[in-house]
Amino acid sequence: MSENLDNFGDKFQQKSKYYRGKLPKHYLDWAYKPKTYKTFPNAIKKIKLPKPDFNEKISFWKTIQNRHSTREFKDKPLTLMGMSLLLFGMSGLTRIFPQYAFRTTPSAGGLYPIETYPVVNNVDNLKQGVYHYNIPEHALELLKEGDFRHDVTEGALGQEMTYNSAINFIWTAVIERSKWKYLQRCYRYIYMDCGHIGQNFYLIAEALGLGACTIGAIYDDELNNLLNIDGLNETVVYIGVVGKNIESIE
């Protein structure tokens, strides 16, 4: 490729700016609005997650104050309830209406482009493998069974915390969900949306006494291949690793 891409980020920032009186003219064709949810009817197995059980004694402000990144984990499994709380807190449905549902995190235009694929390493009563979070059913869909720690670690530039974590949450973006409304500026909003989810991920982990860290340095297409997505219509954007906090006393 002969094109100089050294400053592609600078160019995108400038080209995606809004200017007063020059907003892009765009007609929203509701007949072609992308689907809000991705599901896998042909998944190997569907596992219904337990209904989230919230501990009302947890201090919100203490959780905010103590939030931090953890890169070392105990070799102990997470519970299925812990996984349920993490997934619900990141993308769960809250107020549900016939044509629309609010979630635990905000999204530009309510379009919710982010999908969650948990790669399970060590969770009680759950096989190792690549899963997808079925949001409307609060369920896991098993896509690939097996140990994929090496694959995720290689895709995360060799960062060992992905190998030692209990779960690696891989977040992808279904680009057309946002592009349908926001055109090329959609990428700004997609990254913001994923950031909202990442912050909730940190706070939930802290509230549960777990260690967590997020990763943005990835070999995109290696992880896209792991998830069997094309990297164009849907692409990996972020990873969240979580496990038993090595600093905790049990």
- For 64-103, what is each residue's pLDDT tens digit? 999 999 999 999 999 999 999 999 999 999 999 988 899 9
17 contact partners, CB below 8 Å, separation of at least 6: none
Q: Are 239 and 215 in contact (CB under 8 A)?
A: yes
Give the per-residue pLDDT at 12: 93
Give the per-residue pLDDT at 175: 98
Give the per-residue pLDDT at 5: 67
Q: Which helix (H) or strand (E) holds 161?
A: helix 161-164
Q: If you classify domain 59-245 with CATH, what class do you get?
A: alpha beta
Q: Are 186 and 173 in contact (CB under 8 A)?
A: no
Q: How far apart are CA 156 and CA 160, in angstroms?
A: 9
Q: How many CB atoms lie within 10 A of CB 245?
A: 19
Q: How far apart are CA 230 and CA 236, in angstroms?
A: 10
- Name residues of the chain where pLDDT drops below 50: 1-2, 249
Residue 151: φ, ψ to 5°: -60, -45
Give the per-residue pLDDT at 1: 42
**Token representation of residue 237:** 């954007």
Q: Does the model's pTM come out above 0.75?
A: yes
